Structure 1
Amino acid sequence: MTALRVVGGAEIEAGADLRELIGDMESSLRDDVRRHSVTPARFMEVRDSPYSVFGAMPSMSDPHDLFVTKVAALVDAGGGAAPGRTTVNAVVVVFSISTGEALAVLDGAALTDVKCAAITGLVTDLCATPHARTLGVVGTGALALQQVRGAAAVRDLDRVTVYGRDPDRAGRFADRARRSLGGAVEVAVTSSLREAVEGQDVVCTATTSSEPLLTGFDLPPPVHVNCMGSHTPESREVSAELLESSVLLVEDRATAVREAGHRHHRALELEEALRRGPELRAARTVFSSVGHGFLDLETTAHILKRLGGARR
């Protein structure tokens, strides 16, 4: 076997072109590339004492000549990760279909960050009004930052309003967002969830809340909501009423129903939403994300292409 290429997080971050990846994803979805790929249900094992999650997300695409599996482990013994370690660890293993050659191992956390930013950008561009200028963010973790990056890639934002339960963390998040946006966008922290949600053109959530956060707020059309946090039938960020009264989008309907509940049975998959076109921008739309391995594969193909190792 030839030497296996190892692609670290810094290389992924430097190599990715977010706008190009958004375009790659859109082209693949419009061309029904996913329909000619194989993406089984992901494996997930959850344990207690300590709380831990182990998972694997495979996807195989002949058009990309790639077989990809993301393998991840989360172990939380309480009190956060030990010095020098992270709570979540993930790798993406990549093979060529045509030769069977192992091509690379990529940092899974960094690749997931890039993928989440791109899918947020794709869906926001599809659903948000072209004149959207304000973004409300609920959550202060890494995934929330990727939503800011994704929305900013497709809309000329003037203001980002951040809400988090911990004011110190919210302040640090705002600093990271300002650096990511290059100082061209005002980033403000609020202690009011209502202020972060109502009156925004786009709302993004990325939390582990077990109770719906977006409930009882005035969210008239054409507001667009991206939800990327808790998504089980018993634990989710938005109310059942909001899901049922909005145009609902998901990456993959079968996955969403299986992992997030039956209310997603009527949701539009991404390919269907792309065919709907501009009409979505006049409605109140909610993107309820649960993830899908094909989008990890698409992101892997993009990174390899940018780094000179494409098999497409």
Structure 2
Amino acid sequence: MRFIDRDEVAQRLTYEVCIPAVREAMIAFSAGETRQLLRSIIPMADGRMFGVMPGALGERAMFGAKLISVFPENFAKGVQSHQGVIVLFDAESGAPVCVLHAGEVTAIRTAAASAAATDVLARPDASRLALLGYGEQARTHLRAISRVRRLQAVTVWGRDPGRAETFAREMAAETGLAVAAAPDAPAAVAEADIICTLTAAREPILMGAWVAPGTHLNLVGSSYAGPVEVDSELVVRARFIADSREGVLAQGAEFLSAKAAGLISDAHLVGEIGQVFSGALTGRQSRDQVTVYKSLGHVVQDLAAARLLYDAA
């Protein structure tokens, strides 16, 4: 059995290969070609979670599962918040053939999926990125989105100004981009035309009134029903597109909050990002439209990335 550790994932799962891989995986998912169950999440103490995500890339394709824990406090210790493994099984024999470091795959493929969504939903000339959050996903999202748009400026905001300043300094040095820490969330998004919410917030940290017409947003931080990163006004304003319709209707906190308030119905979720990728659904309809990609994370993204690494090995 092959084992692919964190260092090997980080070295070989580049955005140049991962972005098209997750794009094709989501096209197959929305076309009904993949097989999967809605993920199971076990809540634990202190905001910790354990999740099980099984799936198959097709009826006669590789299959497997991601077993993942989420320990938010790890970030302060310099340790990945997502810990776990992805196990791949051979399509012909049914035997397990590969175990991969799930934390690193998750970090890269989540950002790659947001970048692919940004590429089809953001305005072609979008060039100012705002990151709400300064953790691992903020770093990977900056790296990934810089592959699909020519960024002129990046702002970052988080509850700890010192950490935001450190993030800005380090990522400016890494990318050569103009990265600056903002004093608050409204200032961070004031001139942005791409916004990524990447926090562990339980209550909205971004209000619809702060978002300019024509902005594209990737809502990433909340991965289960409960915590919300943006207010219902923003959900109502936006053309709302999911990674998985079933997933968002069951676990998409921001959408469910607006629905519970009676502001929207299920019809407000216009479709899945895989449909946009394939051309079956129009993404952005006008220059001034606000678009949202709600990312819960999907096992077919993990399996596509894992198969790519396994096949190359």
TM-score by length of 2: 0.87
Runs (5+) with no aligned partner, structure 2: none
Give SS of 1:140's match: coil
Please give the per-residue CA displacement for 1:6-47, whole angstroms capped at 9, x wherever unaligned.
111111111013123222333344456761211101121112
Cα 1:86–1:289 change in 2 (3 A) is closer
Counting only pairs closer than 5 Å after superposition, residues 170-249 of structure 1 correspond to structure 2 as 170-181=164-175, 183=176, 185-215=177-207, 217-249=209-241
Q: Equivalent of 1:287, from 285, 290, 293?
A: 293
Counting only pairs closer than 5 Å after superposition, residues 74-223 of structure 1 correspond to structure 2 as 74-75=70-71, 88-181=82-175, 183=176, 185-215=177-207, 217-223=209-215
Deviation at 1:279, TM superposition (A): 3.9
Deviation at 1:193, TM superposition (A): 1.5
Greater relative contact order (Cα < 8 A, sep 6+)? 2
Structure 2 partner of 1:44? 41
Structure 1 partner of 2:69? 73
Deviation at 1:302, TM superposition (A): 2.2
Corresponding position: 1:17 with 2:14: yes
Give SS of 2:131's match: strand
Structure 2 partner of 1:53? 49
Structure 2 partner of 1:272? 275
Structure 2 partner of 1:297? 303
Cα 1:63–1:187 change in 2 (3 A) is farther
Over aligned residue pairs, what C-alpha RMSD do you find? 2.5
Cα 1:57–1:215 change in 2 (3 A) is same
The total of aligned residue pairs comes to: 299
Task: Check the 8 A contact 1:231/1:237 in 2, yes or no.
Answer: no
Q: Percent identity?
A: 25
Task: Check the 8 A contact 2:28/2:34 in 1, yes or no.
Answer: no
Q: Equivalent of 1:26, from 23, 27, 31?
A: 23
In structure 2, distance between residues paired with 1:198 and 1:146: 22
In structure 2, distance between residues paired with 1:40 and 1:30: 17
Runs (5+) with no aligned partner, structure 1: none
Please give the per-residue CA displacement for 1:248-307, whole angstroms capped at 9, x wherever unaligned.
1110011111012255833221122232346446321011211111111112122223x3
Deviation at 1:107, TM superposition (A): 0.5
Q: Which amino acid aligns with 1:186?
A: A
Deviating more after overlay: 281-290 vs 36-45: 281-290
Give SS of 2:56's match: strand
Cα 1:264–1:304 change in 2 (3 A) is farther
Task: Check the 8 A contact 2:43/2:50 in 1, yes or no.
Answer: yes
